[in-house]
Chain A
Amino acid sequence: MSVGVPKGLASSGQKPITEITHPLSAAEEPLSISLSAGGEKEAWLANGTPGEMSSPASTSSLFNRLQLDDDLEDGRDPFAITDTRDLFVTVDDPKKHVSTMETYITYRVSTKTTRIEFDLPQYSIRRRYQDFDWLRIKLEDSQPTHLVPPLPEKFVMKGVVDRFSEDFVETRMKALDKFLKRVADHPVLSFNPHLNAFLTAKDLNKRQGLALLTKVGESVKHVAGGYKLRARPAEFSAMGEYLETFSQKLGNIDRIAQRILKEQSEYLTELREYGTVYSSWAECEEELQRPLEGTAGCVATCCRALEDQSESMNQDFLPVLREYVLYIESMKNVLRKRDQTQAEYEGRLEAAVLRRQEERTPIPAEVEKCQDKVECFNADLKADWERWQSNKRHDFKQLLTGMADKNVSYYEKCQAAWESLITLLQDRQTEDKSNETN
């Protein structure tokens, strides 16, 4: 059994990853072995009891420790795995539900997969924002050492925006789609049974999740005793500093983008007015009527091009910035949790060392376990950090080239309009000249 099951896993879900020998994938295999060896896998699939949830973290960290060495010698772009994805999810088709109790939006969540954890190759269910929220909490609880992608904000800013407006729903849908895709692409999170349940179950049993949340909340509180870390590894301090600066720059970019949109919309208002004046001028001219009308038309074309450009900035540019602002928060959160884990370990170690000096007892297994936990956490976090960095690089490359493209296309549209105006004006001129010669 311990041989058969992992093989089966590998052939369906894991194999493509192992084939490319990605550091993360190398780590996957021990997971399945340990899982099946511990007999926990069946338990998960049977009822999904969250009671076992603490173990995946530690098991995954086991292999992550192995992975670390790989990582050093293999700086391969983690994006290679995107080619071998075997779990595809899409969020689309928002629908409004009105009942006596409440009004809400559901989104269609479609899944296509070849993984054997799924009974069917395809699923299509409807979920509302709350369900996504539930999933995220579950993921964070069950995989505390991993970076869970952010959800769009729950509350609309200052209540100015209409929650049921088409724009809002559209933007949120895109963000939810992004969230789910990121989870599905994650080498560890995508195997989380809660994700499975979220993607396949007709009804989600969310009660247990809430109970767990309070439990975890307590444990977090328990550790967060304001303990000062003795030696936080420099790389994690660097991560924290990076996030600080990055979030600051991101905030600046967001502000600039918003300001540009504002300036553009004001420019648009004036430009429209400007175009109208040409039209009214055309009305009181004879010979100049057509040239002036042409100019008015040209200005109107430029207005439309600008509208398109602003629209795409609003729809494509700003949401990505928002997502990353939230992403940074998630990342900081994970860093904080790591610090807490380290703090717990350091605390216990100190106590143990003290006791040993007095009683000459060996360091208890409990403390060693704690040390393991810290090391697992570090490894998971580093892996996720690398993954996040490379995602970020990819996303911003796409975002910024997209912005450049939009601007180029805006200018191209305007240029084409002005060039056709010149053609029109010149036709007129040659016409006049031929009239003169006649």
Chain B
Amino acid sequence: MRRAASASSADNSGASSRRRKMMADSESIEEVAVIGNTDITPTEAENNIVNTMVERGTSLLKKMEISVAEAEKRTGKNTVNMQETYTVYLIETRPAESVSEGGTPATPDTLWRRYSEFELLRTYLLVTYPYIIVPPLPEKRAEFVWHKLSADNLDPDFVERRRVGLENFLLRVASHPVLSNDKIFFLFLTEEKGWREAVLETGFQDKVDSRLKSLNATFRVKNPDKRFTDLKQYSDELNTVISQLLRARAKVADRLYGVYKVHGNYGRVFSEWSAIEKEMGDGLQSAGHHMDTYAASIDDILEEEEHYADQLKEYLFYTDAVRAVCRKHELIQYELELAAQDLAYKKQQKEELVTGTVRVFSLKGMTSKLFGQESQEQRESRLTALEQNIQEGEAALKQKNAECREFVQTAWEDIERFKEQKNKDLHEALISYAIMQISMCKKGIQVWSNAKECFNKM
């Protein structure tokens, strides 16, 4: 079951990699599955990276293959009629069966989407499924960059990494047990025109505003759910620690880049020096070439390492999604407590009315003292109204209670799913990071052994 799912997923990412000319042929499933094989080639490792980021084999992904195959730069007029340059991404979908049958795969359905449309989709999902930890989008602007890395949004490397990130986002949503069944999401993948209108028709925009308002409001919950406060605290910690890690990694990358590039100077000096030597000349000259190779190798190494950074970033952004769910829970809890409070107040009022005692100083107490006792009829009618109110309040409380319970239940289910996914993903990310480091070490050993051979000939 898992095997089959990973097979389709492997083919899937293969389809996307093909355009990047990085994959010679689709890799065998075995090699991808056995991650521990330290002799994995960079291509395989890359394949791994793409795959590990997504939980495989759930509803929509079983029926449909999804990939973001290409990115393209476009220029056009925006809403205020200003010239702007933006990037569009080609989404490819095709029925999953066509591949497994072995014959020529059906031509995929394709459509172009902008990053802002992805953003709209995510906002829609966020509002519509407040109890779901909605997968994050790749960063809007390159963050935690080390100085050689371009922070330009139109930089090809950045666009490429974003393409991978967007594909990952779609695969995450498509593999989510709840989100994958969303109509709007399906339309996003299949209907280029009219999608935006369909989203707006859902009226989610109103909810966005109220959601923003409620998220910004300050309130204090009396009986917070410990599970959620713990989760919130954890996601705060995770956010901090991943930010630290990304910052540290960027610095490490910076320095490592320096170490390698300075070695490149040996290349030049050895070559110049070789000109005045007789016996040593040839060895020096060729050793110099190896130093050049060494210095140049760091570019690819660090470029590859950016994938790892992207994996970490995804979880950095995930923490916001987790916090949003926690916040939503807090809000529901707060509403529940308000309803309970309201009901309690009404009950108290009724009791006062029945017993005729005024426990608390109130305006009504004052008026009754000033203007004399109200008539029996008035009392009766007020009592009935109160009882009516109480009944309503009880119903409201019951409803809020049910709502809260349901939220906790569905949210927790998704949280559990998320936790499992997170542990698995990060675990695999660490493995692929280790593989990258090993491949860097191997390159280093190779270059220095070659250089040593040259030095030995001197």
The stretch from A99-107, A273-281, A376-384 touching chain B is: A273-281
Chain B, 33-59, CB within 8 A of any chain A CB: 35-36, 38
- Known: A249-B272, A256-B262, A425-B427. Is A408-B241 also a contact (CB below 8 A)? no
CB closest chain-B residue, reference A421: B434
Complex interface bits, B417-437 against A, C-beta within 8 A gives 1, otherwise 0: 000000100110011011101
Is chain B's interface secondary structure helix, strand, loop, or mixed overall?
helix
Among the listed B245, B426, B434, which residue makes an inter-chain contact with A277, where contact means beta carbons less than 8 Å apart?
Answer: B245
Q: How far is the CB of B372 from chain A (nearest CB, A)?
A: 66
Chain A, 383-438, CB within 8 A of any chain B CB: 393, 396-397, 400-401, 404-405, 407-408, 410-412, 414-415, 418-419, 421-423, 425-426, 428-429
Complex interface bits, B425-452 against A, C-beta within 8 A gives 1, otherwise 0: 0110011011101100110110011011
- Known: A418-B434, A422-B36, A422-B38. Is A266-B258 also a contact (CB below 8 A)? yes
B276 touches A242 (CB 8 A): yes
A260 touches B280 (CB 8 A): no
Among the listed B269, B427, B430, B455, which residue makes an inter-chain contact with A253, where contact means beta carbons less than 8 Å apart?
Answer: B269
Chain B residues with CB under 8 Å of A295's CB are 430, 433-434
The chain A residues found within 8 Å of chain B, CB to CB, are 242, 245-246, 249, 252-253, 256, 259-260, 263-264, 266-267, 270-271, 273-274, 277-278, 280-281, 284, 287-288, 291-292, 295, 298, 393, 396-397, 400-401, 404-405, 407-408, 410-412, 414-415, 418-419, 421-423, 425-426, 428-429
Among the listed B255, B426, B458, which residue makes an inter-chain contact with A396, where contact means beta carbons less than 8 Å apart?
Answer: B458
B258 touches A422 (CB 8 A): no
Interface residue? B266 (CB, 8 A): yes
Interface residue? B249 (CB, 8 A): yes
A256 touches B448 (CB 8 A): no
Chain B residues with CB under 8 Å of A426's CB are 35-36, 431
- Known: A252-B265, A252-B269, A401-B452. Is A425-B434 also a contact (CB below 8 A)? yes
Interface residue? B336 (CB, 8 A): no
Complex interface bits, B271-310 against A, C-beta within 8 A gives 1, otherwise 0: 0110010011001000100000000000000000000000
A281 touches B245 (CB 8 A): yes
Which 3 residue pairs spanning A and B have beta carbons closest together?
A404-B452, A267-B255, A415-B441
A397 touches B455 (CB 8 A): yes
Chain A residues with CB under 8 Å of B276's CB are 242, 245-246, 249
A277 touches B35 (CB 8 A): no
Number of interface residues of B (CB under 8 A): 52
A404 touches B451 (CB 8 A): yes
Chain A residues with CB under 8 Å of B423's CB are 287-288
A274 touches B259 (CB 8 A): no
A284 touches B452 (CB 8 A): no
Q: How far is the CB of B434 from chain A (nearest CB, A)?
A: 5
Instruction: Tell me the complex Cα distance, A421–B437, Å.
Output: 11
B241 touches A281 (CB 8 A): yes
B280 touches A271 (CB 8 A): no
Instruction: Tell me the complex Cα distance, A370–B10, Å.
Output: 88
Among the listed B248, B259, B442, which residue makes an inter-chain contact with A263, where contact means beta carbons less than 8 Å apart?
Answer: B259
Chain B residues with CB under 8 Å of A259's CB are 262, 265
Chain A residues with CB under 8 Å of B258's CB are 263, 266-267
Instruction: Tell me the complex Cα distance, A419–B248, Å.
Output: 23
Among the listed A267, A284, A407, which residue makes an inter-chain contact with B256, where contact means beta carbons less than 8 Å apart?
Answer: A267
A415 touches B442 (CB 8 A): yes
Chain B residues with CB under 8 Å of A278's CB are 245
CB closest chain-A residue, reference B445: A411
Instruction: Tell me the complex Cα distance, A407–B455, Å.
Output: 14
B426 touches A408 (CB 8 A): no
- Known: A280-B241, A291-B427. Is A263-B280 also a contact (CB below 8 A)? no
Interface residue? B456 (CB, 8 A): yes
CB closest chain-A residue, reference B233: A284
Most chain B CB neighbours (cut-off 10 Å) among A274, A295, A298, A429: A274
CB closest chain-B residue, reference A256: B265
Q: How far is the CB of B85 from chain A (nearest CB, A)?
A: 36
Instruction: Tell me the complex Cα distance, A423–B434, Å.
Output: 10
Chain A residues with CB under 8 Å of B181's CB are none
Instruction: Tell me the complex Cα distance, A292–B427, Å.
Output: 9
Instruction: Tell me the complex Cα distance, A183–B244, Å.
Output: 57
Instruction: Tell me the complex Cα distance, A285–B263, Å.
Output: 39
Interface residue? B238 (CB, 8 A): yes
A270 touches B248 (CB 8 A): yes
Q: How far is the CB of B51 from chain A (nearest CB, A)?
A: 15
B431 touches A260 (CB 8 A): no
A423 touches B269 (CB 8 A): no
Chain B residues with CB under 8 Å of A252's CB are 265, 269, 272
A404 touches B448 (CB 8 A): yes
Chain B residues with CB under 8 Å of A245's CB are 273, 276
Q: How far is the CB of A317 from chain B (nearest CB, A)?
A: 12
